[in-house]
Structure 1
Amino acid sequence: MLKKLKWLLHPISILIGAQICWGLLMFVWIRWYILRSQEINTFIEKFPVAATNSGQWVILSQGCILMGFILIALYMIFVSQRRLSRITKMQDAILSNVTHELKTPLASIRLYAETMLLRNVTEDERKKFLTRTLKETERLQKLIDTVLISARLESDKSALIHSKVNLSELLNTCFNRVKDRFSELRTFEFQNLSADMENAFFIWGNPYHLTMLFDNLLDNAVKYTEKGGMIQAGVLLKKDFIQVFIKDNGVGIEKNHLKKIFKKFYRIERNLKVKIQGSGLGLFVCLSIVKEHHGKIFAVSDGLNKGCTFYVELQRLSSHS
């Protein structure tokens, strides 16, 4: 019985019920006013106000306006609560994903450690297990860093230490690191710069956070590009800023999601063959890092299965700096 009546507690049902109640109240109030209009007019005539044909509607009009404000406020509260409910559900889902991502590398590390303890492994096998264990710990460390930096950038942005950074060199290092890991599964192409141009790509920034920015964007490009796909990256010199681009020919993004993907915990639900896990914090951290460097980040895509390009624009140092 309780399950059948559960729909009565749904926010939409409550909103509809509240609107009906307000409507009935307005009807009763207006009817009462019409029945007592003569008494109200007598009361108004006691005040030194010139009598008009519309004077008897003054109180009614004011009441209707106030009631309209109440209805608008009620609707805004409803929208706010619905949004809060969606955010809570989204955070629960992301927490589940983060927990899963934490468990996966931990399970692998434990498996390799137990194997080396319980079996007499050869030297080659031992090196192989230790290499995989190291990769899993790096993966675990990266996830932890993402969560910590997400919180730090929101609470204390003044703690960042900036220095002179060669953006082209830093991006190239990040690109080569990802290329070494996935070169057998993807094609990688970096836009090379002439030697005399490299000095023009300096910015004032935090190397550690900028590395995380490019690592996240490159990992996303790999993650959402199928085997055999291409990942491209490069640095372009503009008039007053430096533009970094990271391009893939993967699953793409619908245009209505292009701005939303940078929101905290936001993930696009796709019907992919393989479900891609994620914390929902990667692009939010990217946006936070770019904002801290007073830059811009945006994505461009022609739609599903048409790839995506992420652009990062940062203020470049003058030649005299």
Structure 2
Amino acid sequence: MGVFIWNAAMITAQLVALFVRLQKPECRREAATDLAVFAGLDKCIVFANDPKSELFFTPLGFKQISAENEPWQTFLKRVGSIGMSSALLIDPETHEETPVFGVSDADNHCVLVFFGGMPETRALTAINTMLPLLGAKLACERDAAMASSHAARVVDATQRADALHEQLERMKATGSARDGLHIEAGQQTTLTDAKVTVRKASEELNKALDMSRVDLQVAYERAEQELAYRREAENKLRLADRRKDEFIATISHELRTPLNAVLGWAELLRMRSLVDPQVNKGIEAIIRSAKTQVNLINDLLDTSSIVAGKIVLHIETFDLADVLERARETVEPLASQKNITIRADYALKESMQGDSARLRQVFWNLLCNAIKFTPNGGSIAIRARSDGVHAQVAIVDTGMGIEEGFLPYVFERFRQADPSLRRKYGGLGLGLSIAKQFVEMHGGSIQVTSDGIDKGTTFLVNLPHTASEFGLPGESPGSSEEFDLHYVRALAVDDDPDARDVVSQILSSFGIQVTVTDSALHALQLLETEEFDVLLSDIAMPYMDGIAFMTQVRAIKDPIRAMIPALALTAFSDAARFTQARSAGFNVVMTKPVLAMDLARSITRLLYKK
């Protein structure tokens, strides 16, 4: 499962040469060491997957590691399942405990294991792009070895049968039984009897050989038929998988589209600070319910994508304190409703690299879980620390706690200690499972501790990070709320009238001068004749969709107009469409329903923080 986006600029001649050497068994060990140095580490081992035994082996060129090494096999299978992971394991060569990081190719043919920590982010991105080439080579080697083994057994059996047949033919031709029959004096056995015996044995052998040939032909035909059935089944599975993806994408779009109008208008009403407290209370309830619905949709879609191995991480440089603060701000209304205090203490200086949106989702899930199981008047603490190599985030609540016997099952999907809690507190039981998957995809780990019932719970998240050499400086929490968007001219394109009205009102509330249109063709005409500072567009539109529209925008002859900052606002949430939108030229892709503050924040960063 690929977790990085192709970036040709990262593929250097040095890396290509390393992967060429990895194709050759005699060069593999040395090439793997050089690859580790390329990634900023000292050691790397290649493992090949054997689907038949469901085990991983070191290929030709490496010292064999026992298939009975259960910790290693468990780790390698986890890497193959989620794309990448980290662990503490015993080095099979030095027999010392060491941190390891594994990454697999999309088809799970092979796993690269780096010793000593996580590779540098840019190097890992490039390696992940090249890895399918090595995976395909190792798969071919495996298939060739199996074919060679089968051929050797067939040749051996044929040679034995031929030798026995020749021996019996000689006996029959010479009329002598000396080669295979010893006649003792006084016995009634005659030479004629020996000839008959030899002839019968020869006939039986010929029959057996004929039957073997028939059996082989039948077996061959069955194998061909089985192969045809398997190919047909694989094609049907691929078709079903594609249809499932299309169905999930459609469901996502249809569920999010009405929520976009509900949440957008509710936020606009809240920003107007209506006098009637009951109306304000109702607006808050609408916003809470809509956000809950959005997050339930996200959890279902993310779980489906994780199981299918289709989650893609969008790597960027970000400030972890900003991610934590954004998550805290999102859940603050839920905490206020229960009079729960959330205290934050961020001792973070270095920037991090990873998918900030996915990590924000992790901490949102953890905070929602803490709020859900903390009684009225309780408290939650967020503590973040960094040692320059790893960041550690602790979320501590004074809630109902967890029984010791249930702690190992906390991160399993659909699991709750008491089924009655689901009816009382709601939810699908997916949030913690998703959080664990996203943390591990970043090469981190997540743990949970509790002293028991009514003694609170602590979730501890460890994330590796590399200080950015080329990213933007981090922002202090709250600075992103200062928007200066007056006199900004925006063009918004959406075929849905409710969506157009909502985005127009949101942008206008921040002082933006908005022009809206329901057609990509009309938008292209406007871009040719009028001046705009930012472009917002839907993806799924009739006649010309957002991808084709953005491609044409970037092809406008006037370079200033062609390079207008652009945001995609889409009710689709699958990674493939996000990648497609970015490839077409969108600078930012946002999933509907879009929160007013998030939209203003994205436009501010896009215009003023290039």
Gaps (5+ residues) in structure 1?
Answer: 1-101, 114-121
For the residue of structure 2 that corresponds to 1:311, the secondary structure is: strand
Letter in 1 for 2:397: D
What is the Cα deviation at residue 292 of structure 1? 1.0
Cα distance between partner residues in 2 of 1:127 and 1:284? 35
Corresponding residue for 2:386?
Answer: 237
Shift of 1:179: 2.6
Does 2:337 match 1:188? no
The aligned runs of 1:18-167 (5 Å cut-off) are 124=276, 129-157=282-310, 159-167=312-320
Query: Equivalent residue for 1:87?
Result: none
The 1-side partners of 2:380 and 2:411 are apart by 21
1:297 aligns with 2:446: yes
Measured at CA, do residues 132 and 237 of structure 1 come closer, stay the same or move farther in structure 2, by a change above 3 Å? same
Identity of aligned residues (%): 30
Deviations 1:50-100 (A, max 9, x none): xxxxxxxxxxxxxxxxxxxxxxxxxxxxxxxxxxxxxxxxxxxxxxxxxxx
Please report the TM-score for the alignment, with normalisation by the length of structure 1.
0.56
Write the distance in 2 (CA, Å) between the matches of 1:126 and 1:251.
33
**Whole-angstrom CA distance in 2 between matches of 1:297 and 1:305:** 22
- The structure, 1 or 2, with the larger RCO (C-alpha pairs under 8 Å, 6+ apart) is 1
- RMSD of aligned alpha carbons: 2.9
* CA deviation vs aligned residue, 1:215-259 (integer Å, no higher than 9, x gap): 110011111110111100021113621001100011111122112
Q: 1:151 to 1:239 in 2, by over 3 A?
A: same
Given that 2:394 and 2:460 are in contact with CA atoms closer than 8 Å, whether structure 1 keeps it comes out as yes
| Mean CA deviation greater in 261-270 or 225-234 | 261-270
**Tell me, what secondary structure is at the counterpart of 2:462?**
strand
Compared with structure 1, are the counterparts of its residues 304 and 271 closer, same or farther at alpha carbon in structure 2 (3 Å cutoff)?
farther
Tell me how far 1:140 sits from its aligned partner.
Answer: 0.6
Cα distance, 1:320–1:271 mapped onto 2, change above 3 Å: same
| Residues 180-224 of structure 1: per-residue CA shift (max 9 Å, x gap) | 44236112211143xxxx432x22211221111111100111111
Q: Would you tell me which structure has more helix in proportion to its own residues?
A: 1
Matched letter for residue 224 of structure 1 = F
The letter of the residue matching 1:138 is K
The SS at the match of 1:259 is helix
Larger Rg: 2
Task: Report the more deviating stretch, 151-160 or 244-253.
Answer: 151-160
- C-alpha contact 1:157 1:292 (8 A) present in aligned 2: no
Deviation of 1:177 (Å): 2.9
In 2, the alpha carbon distance for the partners of 1:143 and 1:158 equals 17
Are residues 1:268 and 2:417 paired? yes
Structure 1 residues 227 and 212: alpha-carbon distance in aligned structure 2, compared to 1, 3 A threshold: same
Number of aligned pairs?
199
Structure 1's 278 and 130: CA in aligned 2 closer, same or farther, altered over 3 A?
closer
Shift of 1:290: 0.8
SS of 2:322's equivalent in the other structure is helix
- Cα distance in 2, alignment partners of residues 309 and 246 from structure 1: 6
Q: Look up the match of 2:324.
A: 171
Q: For residues 242 and 179 of structure 1, what CA distance do their matches in structure 2 show?
A: 23
SS at match of 2:443: coil
Q: Which residue of 1 aligns with 2:244?
A: none
Point out 4+ residue stretches in structure 1 off by more than 6 angstroms: none
